[in-house]
Amino acid sequence: MLLWSVGMTVSRSSVPLLCLSVAFFLVGPCQSGCRETGQCCPGRDPSCSCKGWRSDRTFGTCYCDQACVSTLDCCHDYDSACPALSCVVSEWTAWSGCAEPCRATVRRRSRAILQGPLNAGTPCPHLEEHAGCAEYWSQQGNCPNPPVPALIISGGYGNARKKRDIPDSSDITGYCVQFQLTSLTKGCQQSSGPHTQWMQHLREGHRVCVECQPPALSAEQTHCAGDGEEDDGGRRQSHQWQAVGNPRCRGVWRRVGRMEACSCPTAHSFLFI
């Protein structure tokens, strides 16, 4: 009985110590985190740390910098104390005019950063785009000589191309010319920009359709420059062409014939500039 009583006495006296140990294990020597220390740091910052619980439920040094997301050593409250904010940009501006008149050149559009990324948020996208273009007028009036050789651009450019300075352009009927690509440079396959990717569809041996429409076709003209009609003579002549927006993408094609309407797939449909 005595031993049992002593055991009971020892057991009862150890209860507070046991409870304290359990509490120490659950809470830890420190409860600090990103919110308590007021830390949210960009990049990798070893000094942006404290002692506390990590997101993986282990106790020790934890971090409140952006890099902790990839190194998996964030403090337990990093996500709530330092929420990820993605970059926010404005809408695209309207396309600019061509950089230079009467020649193949580029047009531009841009957008601005409204909110930079924070706490490992999605980074900002590109802020400027370039696309090929050509204009047939300058401050002195219409260009005297259209650009040669044949300059082409994707068919979608026709929706945005301005038709100013072309009188009664609605009365001008366009047409289509089909060509077979006989050679092209490697630069066509290296066109990775958002408005030059169409050049990657160009392949030797493929047939492409190129539409002739205003302003490349004016009221005083019977055909577009570079379409090979003046040199046809009943034979399939070879002609040089160049993609607008990437001067390294050029080649030679053989004229197949003229059609009233283009019937090629979208990826193989282009415009004379």
pLDDT at 55 over 50: yes
CA atoms within 13 A on the CB side of 226: 22
Across the range 32-60, mean pLDDT stands at: 89
Q: Which residues of 67-86 are buried (b: 16+ CB within 10 A; e: fewer)?
A: bbbeeebbbbbbeebbeeee
pLDDT digits (tens, 9 = 90+) for 174-196: 888 889 888 888 888 887 777 78
Instruction: Please check whether residues 154 and 186 belong to one and the same domain.
Output: yes
Question: What single DSSP character describes residue 103?
Answer: S
Question: For the chain, what is the domain count?
Answer: 3
The answer to whether residue 4 is domain-embedded is no
Instruction: Please check whether residues 77 and 92 belong to one and the same domain.
Output: no
The answer to whether residue 27 is domain-embedded is no
Instruction: Please check whether residues 188 and 260 belong to one and the same domain.
Output: yes
Mean pLDDT, the chain, integer: 75
The answer to whether residue 29 is domain-embedded is no
pLDDT at 12 over 80: no
Instruction: Please check whether residues 186 and 266 belong to one and the same domain.
Output: yes
Predicted local distance difference test score (pLDDT) of residue 262? 79
Instruction: Please check whether residues 55 and 104 belong to one and the same domain.
Output: no
Instruction: Please check whether residues 158 and 255 belong to one and the same domain.
Output: yes
Instruction: Please check whether residues 191 and 244 belong to one and the same domain.
Output: yes
Predicted local distance difference test score (pLDDT) of residue 129? 81
Q: Which residue has the higher pLDDT, 155 or 20?
A: 155
pLDDT classification of 237: cutoffs 50, 70, 90:
low
Instruction: Please check whether residues 155 and 267 belong to one and the same domain.
Output: yes
CB 48 within 8 A of CB 65: yes
The answer to whether residue 2 is domain-embedded is no
CA–CA separation, 95 and 38 (whole Å):
44
Across the range 79-94, mean pLDDT stands at: 91
Instruction: Please check whether residues 158 and 268 belong to one and the same domain.
Output: yes
The answer to whether residue 24 is domain-embedded is no
CA–CA separation, 44 and 122 (whole Å):
16
Q: Examine the fold and report which residue of 81, 102, 120 is the final residue of a domain before the chain moves on.
A: 81
Predicted local distance difference test score (pLDDT) of residue 174? 81
Could you give the dihedral angle defined by the CA atoms of residues 239, 240, 244 and 250, in that order, rounded to the nearest 10 degrees? 130
Q: Which residue has the higher pLDDT, 207 or 100?
A: 207
Instruction: Please check whether residues 246 and 159 belong to one and the same domain.
Output: yes
Nearest to 85 by CA among 118, 59, 54: 118
Instruction: Please check whether residues 179 and 133 belong to one and the same domain.
Output: no
Instruction: Please check whether residues 129 and 71 belong to one and the same domain.
Output: no
What is the percent of the chain with per-residue pLDDT over 70, rounded to a whole number? 70
The answer to whether residue 12 is domain-embedded is no
- pTM score, two decimals? 0.48
Site of tokens 């050679």: 183
Question: For residue 187, what are its two tokens?
Answer: 């630069």
The answer to whether residue 18 is domain-embedded is no
Q: Which residue has the higher pLDDT, 199 or 88?
A: 88
Q: Which residue has the higher pLDDT, 242 or 101?
A: 242
The answer to whether residue 9 is domain-embedded is no
Least confident of 25-29, 33-37, 59-63: 25-29
The domain of 117 spans: 88-142
